[in-house]
Amino acid sequence: MTTGNDVLDLLVVGGGPGGTAAAFRGRELGLSVLVVEYDDLMKRIRDYSKDKLILPGFGGGDRMQFPNGGALIRDLCFEPIDKDEMCLRWKGLYRDHRVPCRVGVELTGLERRGDGVYEAIAWDHGGRQELRLLARHVVLAVGRGVPRRFDIPGDTDGLCLRLDDPAAYLGKPCCVIGGGTSAAEAVIALSKAKAAAGDPTSVYWSYRGDKMPRVSKALAEVFFEAYVGAGNIRYHPRSEPAAVVTGDDRREYLSIRVDRRAMDGRPAETTHLEFPKESCIACIGEDIPEAFLASLGIHMAVGGRRPRKRMVVNRFLETQRPGVYLVGDILSQAHLEADDFDADPSTFREVRHRGNIKTALRDGVRVAQVVRQRLDGVEDVDLDVADAEPLEPSTGSLAMRVAELPPAPQLPASEPPPPEPPGSGAILVRLLPGGLEAEEYPLGDQGLTTLGRRDCDISVPTDNLLSQRHASIFATDDGGHAVRDDGSEGGVFLAVPSRRKITIGAGDLLRLGRQFLLVTGDGGSLGLSHFDASGREVGRVPLKEGTIVLGRKAPDVTLDPADGTLSRRQLALTLENGVLLVKDLRSVNGSFLRVRGDRPLEHGDRLRVGQQTFVYGSGSEAVLDLKPGPRPQPAPVAPAPAPSPSGPAVTFQNLGQTVPVAPGQTLCEAAEAHGVKINAECHAGICGSDPIRILSGQEHLEGPPAAGECETLEDICGLEPGACRLACMARVTGPVVVEIL
């Protein structure tokens, strides 16, 4: 496609929500369409923080509906959904509906021929060649463009401009700068992650306004929960970054001015907080790529009620260049609308434009419908974008149930508690993407609970990946429950737990990201056959006694270094006396075992059935931990007697035990030699099962942690190396006091 005579009806530049809606609606209306994207489809959504829940009501509330269209547009409507699941789902729609798309293609120029057709000049970064594409109409859905930078002294390179993984900020104070929704979301995510991990450090929020930043209606409830429940958010209104400075340790710090006092007869006095650059997240927005747009002949103007420089379009979302349109975030939070681009900009109308996914979808649908009518020669173009039928909220959703519940009555002290309902008390909870509770289903002591698309005890008719009767859960003789696959097409998958090992055997199938592992052989000689996403066998791994770690970049078995759905260290397999045990290493996307036969369930087990996630809760256990929140802390233990300084020794503070350490022994070896209970599996610093926190005596450890130990602590344990170590890697040379984590 370096050159070609075929003329597209619509060339879409940008594969985000706006560009996707324009392409999908264009296909529905019979237009020839091509989407080109420089980075990746849904890049902006992809780069949201981990576990971010995309809410359909964000920004527009219930008043704004999804746009109406055909089957393709209906598939873009969504209920609350995890950002990674949204990306996978929408990318799958491109494939399923065969919408033409080229990723890695960057628009560099736009020329209009005498016949009115545009020649788009682009560079194909994959093929390293220039492309020239012909189109009658062009949609620019390029987002806001370049992240904004601080204009302060010092080197600001290295400051994080978005929150990726909240776990990276555990164990240390962190700071979020900015007063918008993205800043609020970052503060919430960090606050909840710290509370869930029992991290006592705080999240500092710096913003220039003198009032608390406005939090969107959709975030208000979860924000209140984080603010009141966690109690670890520290507000600093009327504060701002002042400079990047170098500390005595030669590290670079972002200095935040948090207070300024002016006193008569004295210079103004200011107070600053300094955070390591890597502990700061600057959610300060993006700048429109003005120079790039100007090179295409699209210019901004100063106008509106409060004269400001903004993008200018007409009522069709068309720019100064006929047949070239703008959709999505590039128009947010306001743009100018002109009837005559040559008129005085002060006469242009200022139009508010919400920066959310629904708005971008409506923009894309609107432009596609305009293009169709213009190609058909319609003079009086209809700009109406019809509303889709409102999505019915899940009536059992946690948010709705909490909002509707009356205050809990206070029982008199003499009144006995209400009796427990009959039965085991076991439950099955359906989760929305992101971990929010949707519905709760009681499980009886007898009989079956069936799951499927229709005519089952638990039916989800909108999930096309469910078989009519997919699976069932039944009570077992020991008072528990088990699950079995009732002949479904897609299978039933059990999430491999990270807190305990489970047994698997020959014939079992594991799914890790886009990779599959089939256990082969028998107890005498077990092995793994590795299959990629297409079902092609790409390798075999023999298994020997001991533990191996597999993942995207694992020390023992690297499955596929290009599979971004894998964690670097995904899964640990242990072969003990012919028995194969598996444990997830707290991977980002989880590891899954396909259920064969009857599989007993334990409290907290998660099941994937079609597109649904269910969590099993046993009545004999504590309540399910469905969402991040403060975890119960162990009861305080009286300080153990200080170890004798005459030789190496280790005190386990939370166990109240002190043991000597022989020359050359690791902390783990000393514990095991003296009967101290410590969970250690690989004894090689790989599995991350034996983290400890150093309370005192760090100078009596033999050297700092090596790179491999640091990676395990950070990637698998979510802990900060130095303050924390792996017991199997820390060699003791003197008295040390530790806490087993």
What does the pLDDT look like over 534-560, one tens digit per residue?
778 888 888 888 888 888 888 788 998
Give the lowest-confidence range in 91-95, 130-134, 574-578. Answer: 574-578
Q: What are phi and psi of 52, to 5 degrees?
A: -65, 135
- Whose CA is closest to 185, among 55, 329, 332? 55
Question: What band does 689 get if pLDDT is binned at 50, 70 and 90?
Answer: confident
Mean pLDDT of 652-670: 84
Mean pLDDT of 459-469: 85
Q: Write down the pTM of the prediction.
A: 0.47
Angle at which helix 217-224 crosses helix 181-197, to 10 degrees, equals 30
Which two structure tokens, joined as six digits, stand for 170?
């555990």
d(CA 469, CA 526): 34
Mean pLDDT of 247-261: 89
What per-residue confidence (pLDDT) applies to 242?
92
- Whose CA is closest to 548, among 510, 576, 521, 507? 576
- Whose CA is closest to 621, among 606, 607, 639, 603? 603
- Positive or negative: CA dihedral 666, 670, 672, 676: negative
Tell me what percent of the residues of the chain surpass a pLDDT of 90: 30
Summarize pLDDT for 53-65 with one digit per residue, the tens: 787 764 434 467 8
The 3-state DSSP composition of the chain as helix, strand, coil percent (nearest 5) reads 20, 30, 50
Mean pLDDT of 413-417: 37
Strands 546-551 and 557-558: parallel
d(CA 26, CA 372): 8
Angle at 207 between CA 205 and CA 208, to 5 degrees: 160
d(CA 142, CA 337): 19
- pLDDT tops 70 at residue 333: yes
Give yes or no for a contact between 364 and 17, defined as CB atoms under 8 angstroms apart.
yes
CA distances from 215 to 179, 400, 714 (A): 9, 19, 31
- Residue bearing the bigger pLDDT, 490 or 74: 74
- Residue bearing the bigger pLDDT, 179 or 520: 520
Give yes or no for a contact between 471 and 456, defined as CB atoms under 8 angstroms apart.
no
Give the lowest-confidence range in 31-35, 558-562, 616-620. Answer: 616-620
d(CA 656, CA 650): 11
- pLDDT tops 60 at residue 625: no
Tell me what percent of the residues of the chain surpass a pLDDT of 70: 82
- pLDDT tops 80 at residue 47: no
- pLDDT tops 90 at residue 222: no
Round the average pLDDT of the chain to a whole number and report it.
Answer: 81
- Whose CA is closest to 2, among 135, 133, 138, 100? 133
As a dihedral over the C-alpha atoms of residue 511, residue 517, residue 518, residue 519, rounded to 10 degrees, the angle is: -110
d(CA 357, CA 309): 24
Ramachandran category for residue 599: left, alpha or beta (phi over 0 → left; psi -120 to 50 → alpha): beta
Give the lowest-confidence range in 124-128, 364-368, 426-430, 711-715. Answer: 711-715
